[in-house]
Amino acid sequence: MQSSAGKKWMGRTPSEWLSSLPIFSLLLLTLIIGTGEMVHGQLLRLGERMFGDPANQVQYFLLRADPSAPTCEANPDIDALVAKQVAEAETAPKSDLDALFGDVAIDPNEIRASLEAARDQCRERVAVYERVSKAITPEVEVFREIETGFFGIFKFGTENRPLILLIMVAIAAISTTRHYHHINLRPPRTKKDFQVYSLAMLGANLLMTISTSYYLKLQYDSGVPVESPVISIVSIALFAALSYISLKDVLKIPEHAEEGGSYGMGLLSIPLYAFMALNAGISFFMDDYVAGLAIYFGQITELSSIFLNLALYLWAGMLLKQTRVVSLFMDILRPWKLPPEVFTYIVLLAAAIPTAYTGASGVFVIAAGAIVYKEVLAVGARRHFALAATAMSGSLGVVLRPCLLIVVIAALNKEVTTSELYGWGLFVFILTSTVFMIIALLKAEGRVIERAKAKDALPQSLRALVPVSPYILIMLLVVYGYEYLLDTKLDEFTAPVMLPVIMLFVIIFDKLRGGPTKVGGDTTADKKKNEGLEVAVRSATTETIGHIGALIMLMALSISVGGMIERSGIMEVVPAEMGSVWMALTIFMLLMIFIGMVMDPFGAVILVSATVAPIAYSNGIHPVHFWMIVITAFELGYLSPPVALNQLLARQVVGEAEMDKAAEETKGKAFYYRYERWLLPVYTLMVGLLIVTYGGQALINNADSLKPVSHFLGLDQLRPVELGDSPAAGPAVDAPAADAMPAVAEDAAMLDPAAQPVVELPAESVPAVVPATPAAAPAPSPAILQAEVTEVVSNWAAAWSARDVEGYLSFYSANFELPGAVTRSQWESQRRTRISTKSNIEVDISNLNVQVNGDEATAEFDQAYKADKYSDKVRKTLRLKKEDGRWKILTEQAR
C-alpha cells in the first residue's frame, strides 16, 4: 500500500487518524465481543461468590441494580379493610349478568384470607428489599459498575455486529481504493493501465450505488417497517464514496504512472472486485433484478461473525510479521543446512497448523505469506520456487482439524460428520504434502550442498531453543489462561479471538525485550517497523486495512457471482442421473475446479451444498468422498490460471519488486523453471486431486478385498452407494460413524441375529423342539413414557422461570445440537448470562403434544415467554432422548 502524503498532526498523517485508529478500535471491540460472553459469565460467577448470601437468600443478580421500594402496605388494618369490602359488595348495584347466576353470598372469611395473603406477600417483598439494600455495599457498587459496564459494551457490540463489520469494511475499502490496493491480475503501471483500472472501478461502484439505493427504496415501498435501514444507508454511502474516488482517479492519473502501455494489457489491471461487480451487475440488471448486487452484498452482514473473524486473523498475521518469532524458530532448522526443497516441505507442514485454524488458504497467504517467502528464499531456494511455496502455503491445512470450513460443510450437509471429514482430511493432507515433496525433489537443480553433521547441528539447534522458549511460554500462558480463567479452549471457534491476543502479548514482549529487533528487509518501511511497540502495532494495523478492504470486498462480490451462477440455471444443466460413478466423478471434479476459480470458499460451499451435493450423492458418490474432492478441487482452483486467487495474494504480499527479480532470474532457463510458481502448485494439487477422485473411488469399490488394510483406513465404512439411493442422514457434529453410513448399519445387521431376515421353512422341516427364548422385561407403556416426557418439559420450563441456571442446563444432553458456530462452554455461558441478568422470567407452556418412539421423543408446544419488558410467543419443538434413565434434550427449535 502506498503511504499517503500529508501534513502530520501529533506525529500521524490524516490517513492514519481516519483509518488506522478507527480500524484498531473496531478490531479491539471485535475482541471484546468475542470474549464478552466468557468474561461476563466469569464476572457473574465471581460476583455470586463474593457477594452472594445464601443464608439471607440474596443472590448477586439481585444486587446488579438498586431495588425499588415496594409501594404496598406491609401492616394494613385487616378488620377495617374487610368491613369496607363487605359494605361495598352489599351496596354495589346488581347487573344483568349477576341476575343470571343468582345472589352470591359474601363471605368475610374469604376476603380476610385474601387480604392476609396479600399482606404476607408485601411483607416478603419488603424483607427482600431491606436485605438487598443492606447487602449493597460500596464494594458491591464498584464491582457492579465494572460488571454492568463491561456487559453494556459487550451487549452493544453483539447487537451491532453487522454494523461494526460494515463500518470496518467501508473504512478499509475507501483506503484500499485510494491507494490502488485491490487484487488484480497485474498492478497498473502505465497511464493506460490506470485509465482502464479507474473506469472499471467507476462502473462497478456506480452499479453498486444504484443497486443499494434501489434496494432501500424497495424496502420502504413494501410497506413493512425496515428492520435495519442504517445498514443500507451505510452501504449506499460507501459505494457513493468509492464512486467519487474512482471518478477523481479517471480525471487525474497518478503522477508516478509510466508512459506507454496498451488498453488490451490494461484489462489485466482491472481489480477482480470490479470485474465481478460488472459481470454480476450487468447480468442482474438485464434480468430486471436491480437490487441483486445489494442483496448478495448484504450477505456479508448475515455472515458478520465469519468476516469479523477473518479480519482478526489478518490482524494476527500482520502482528506476527512485526516480531522475531518466525525468524527465531527458523534458527532451529538453519544449523542442519537442509536442501531448500526439504526445508520448504517442513515449513509447509508447519504452516498447515495455523491454516487449519484460519479456515481458508487465502487468509494464511495474506497473513504469513511474506514470512514464508522470505525464509524459503533465505536458504538458497529459487525465487520462483519460493513464490510457489508462498502461494500454496495455506492450501494443505484446510482439511485438518479444526478448520472452520469443515464445520460449515458438516453443518450444511447432514450426510457427513466433522469427525469423518477431519479423519479423511488427514489422509488427503499426507497425500498432497508427499506429492509436493516428490515433485520438488525431482525438479531440484543439481546443487552441491554441504550437509551438516548431527554432532555440529544438534547443539546449535538446542541453543536456538533458548531465545524461543519465552515466546512459547507466553503463548501457553495465554492459552491456559483462557482455559482456566474463562473456561475456554483453543479451537476453531475461539481461535479468531485468542490468536490476536496471543500476538499482542508476544509483540509487547518482543518490543520491550530489547536487543536486535530487525524484521523484514532493509527498506524504510521495514526499518520503521522496528522502532517500538506503538509503531509496530500501528504498522500491523495499517497493513491489515489494505487486506481487509481488498479481500472482504472481493469475497462479498464473489457471493454475487455465486448468485449470478445460481440464477442463470447453469447448475440445472448438470444431469441428475449420469449412469456411471466414474463419469459423475469426472464432471463434478471439473465443475468444482471452476467454482474454486471464481468464488470464495465459504460462498462456494453454500452454493455446492444447495445445488450440486444432492446430485452427487444420488449418482453413487459417497458424501465423505465427495467433500474431499470438493475441498481439494477448490484449492486447485485457487492456484490455477486465469484467476489463481492465491497466486495473486502471494504476488501482493511479496511485492512487485520481487516478481521482477524472479522473472529476471529465470531468463533463458527451461519452461518449467520460468513458470515454476504456477506449475509446481498446479502439478501438486492436480496429482493429489486425481488420486483423491479416482484412487479414492477404486479403494472404496475394492474395500472388501483389501482387508485388514481397508479396516485400518476406514474404507469399510465408505462402501459404494447404489445409484438412486441417498445415503442415510447423520448428525452434523461428531457422532459414531454408524449413525451416518448405511454400510455400517448393514454390517451391524450381519452381526445381529435379530436383524437377519426370517426364512420360512416348510412345516415338516421345522424341528420338533424349539429352544425357549428368555422373556424380555416388559417395556413401559406409551402412556407412562408420555407422562415422563410431559413432566420433564414442565420441569424444564419451571427451572427456566425460576432462573435456576444449573437446573435448567441439566435438562440438556451432552450431545445437544448447539445453535450456530459455538462451543458447549460458550453456549452455556451465553445462557447463564441471559437468564441471570433478568429480574423476572415467566415461561408458560400450552397445547403440549408428546410423541414417543422407543428411547426418543418429540414434544411440541406453544411457549409464551416474558422477561422484564420483553415478551414473545413461539411454537417450539424439543427432541429428547432417554440417557441413563433420564430424558435429555437433543435439539430445540422455535418457529
652-700 pLDDT tens trace: 889 888 999 999 999 989 999 999 999 999 999 999 999 999 998 888 8
Assigned C-alpha cell, 502: 496471543
CA–CA separation, 648 vs 419, rounded Å?
Answer: 33
For residues 7-26, average pLDDT: 77
DSSP annotation of 887 reads E
Closest Cα to residue 619, out of 586, 666, 579? 579
Q: Which residue has the cell 472486485?
A: 273
Tens digit of each residue's pLDDT (9 = 90 or more) over 459-498: 999 999 999 999 999 999 999 998 888 878 887 778 888 9
Closest Cα to residue 278, out of 209, 218, 342, 204? 204
- Per-residue pLDDT for 774 more than 50? no
Assigned C-alpha cell, 260: 506507454
H or E segment to which residue 383 belongs: helix 383-391
Percent of the chain with pLDDT over 70: 84
CA–CA separation, 450 vs 679, rounded Å?
Answer: 29
Tens digit of each residue's pLDDT (9 = 90 or more) over 322-337: 888 888 888 898 898 8
Closest Cα to residue 274, out of 342, 187, 206, 174? 206
In DSSP terms, which residues pair with 871 in a beta bridge? 866
H or E segment to which residue 888 belongs: strand 886-894
Higher pLDDT, 732 or 276: 276
Choose the weakest-confidence range: 11-20, 65-74, 152-161, 360-369.
11-20
Question: What pLDDT does 106 receive?
Answer: 76
Please report, as a single letter, which amino acid is at residue 328.
L
- Per-residue pLDDT for 720 more than 80? no
CB atoms inside a 10 Å sphere around CB 255: 5
CA–CA separation, 418 vs 405, rounded Å?
Answer: 10
Higher pLDDT, 637 or 13: 637
Question: What pLDDT does 10 receive?
Answer: 60
Choose the weakest-confidence range: 118-127, 689-698, 777-786, 856-865.
777-786
Reduced DSSP (H G I as helix, E B as strand, rest coil) percent helix, strand, coil of the chain, to 5: 65, 5, 25
For residues 223-239, average pLDDT: 88
For residues 720-728, average pLDDT: 42
CA–CA separation, 602 vs 648, rounded Å?
Answer: 19
Percent of the chain with pLDDT over 90: 32
- Per-residue pLDDT for 86 more than 90? no
CA–CA separation, 127 vs 134, rounded Å?
Answer: 11
CA–CA separation, 555 vs 558, rounded Å?
Answer: 5
Highest mean pLDDT among 89-93, 176-180, 207-211: 207-211
3-state helix/strand/coil string of 678-694: HHHHHHHHHHHHHHHHH
Question: What pLDDT does 776 receive?
Answer: 44
Check if the beta carbon of residue 850 is closer than 8 Å to that of residue 858.
Answer: yes
Check if the beta carbon of residue 214 is closer than 8 Å to that of residue 239.
Answer: no
Closest Cα to residue 181, out of 550, 552, 655? 550
Question: What pLDDT does 766 receive?
Answer: 36
H or E segment to which residue 877 belongs: strand 870-883
For residues 418-436, average pLDDT: 91
For residues 576-582, average pLDDT: 82
Tens digit of each residue's pLDDT (9 = 90 or more) over 296-330: 998 888 888 888 988 998 898 888 888 888 888 88
Choose the weakest-confidence range: 158-167, 479-488, 509-518.
509-518
Please report, as a single letter, which amino acid is at residue 202.
L
Tens digit of each residue's pLDDT (9 = 90 or more) over 347-390: 999 989 888 877 678 878 887 888 889 989 988 899 999 999 99
For residues 19-35, average pLDDT: 88
- Per-residue pLDDT for 522 more than 60? no
CA–CA separation, 555 vs 169, rounded Å?
Answer: 12
For residues 845-864, average pLDDT: 87
Please report, as a single letter, which amino acid is at residue 634.
F
Closest Cα to residue 350, out of 370, 334, 328, 326? 326
Q: Strand 841-853 relative to strand 870-883: parallel, antiparallel, unpaired?
A: unpaired
Assigned C-alpha cell, 604: 462456494
Check if the beta carbon of residue 638 is closer than 8 Å to that of residue 645.
Answer: yes
CB atoms inside a 10 Å sphere around CB 7: 6
Question: What pLDDT does 725 receive?
Answer: 42
CA–CA separation, 598 vs 596, rounded Å?
Answer: 6
CB atoms inside a 10 Å sphere around CB 235: 25
DSSP 522-534: SSHHHHHTTS-HH
Question: What pLDDT does 621 receive?
Answer: 92
Highest mean pLDDT among 80-94, 193-207, 727-741: 193-207
Query: What is the residue-averaged pLDDT of the chain?
Result: 82
CA 523 to chain centre: 37
Find the Cα–Cα–Cα–Cα dihedral 822, 823, 826, 830, rounded to 10°.
50
Residues with Cβ within 8 Å of 622's Cβ and at least 6 positions away in sequence, in order, are 700, 718, 719, 720, 721, 727
Q: Strand 856-867 relative to strand 870-883: parallel, antiparallel, unpaired?
A: antiparallel
Higher pLDDT, 529 or 260: 260
Is the model's pTM score more than 0.75?
no
- Per-residue pLDDT for 730 more than 80? no
CB atoms inside a 10 Å sphere around CB 845: 17
DSSP annotation of 396 reads S
H or E segment to which residue 882 belongs: strand 870-883
CA 820 to chain centre: 9
Question: What pLDDT does 707 receive?
Answer: 58
Higher pLDDT, 45 or 439: 439
- Per-residue pLDDT for 7 more than 70? no
Dump strand ranges (E) for 80-130.
Answer: none
Closest Cα to residue 373, out of 393, 387, 357, 392? 387
Band (747; pLDDT cuts 50, 70, 90): very low
Check if the beta carbon of residue 571 is closer than 8 Å to that of residue 345.
Answer: no
Check if the beta carbon of residue 710 is closer than 8 Å to that of residue 743.
Answer: no
Choose the weakest-confidence range: 46-50, 149-153, 780-784, 831-835.
780-784
Higher pLDDT, 886 or 15: 886
Cα angle 825-502-505, degrees, rounded to a multiple of 5: 130
CA–CA separation, 176 vs 244, rounded Å?
Answer: 14
- Per-residue pLDDT for 179 more than 70? yes
Band (721; pLDDT cuts 50, 70, 90): very low
Helix (H, G, I), strand (E, B) or coil at 881: strand
Helix (H, G, I), strand (E, B) or coil at 339: coil
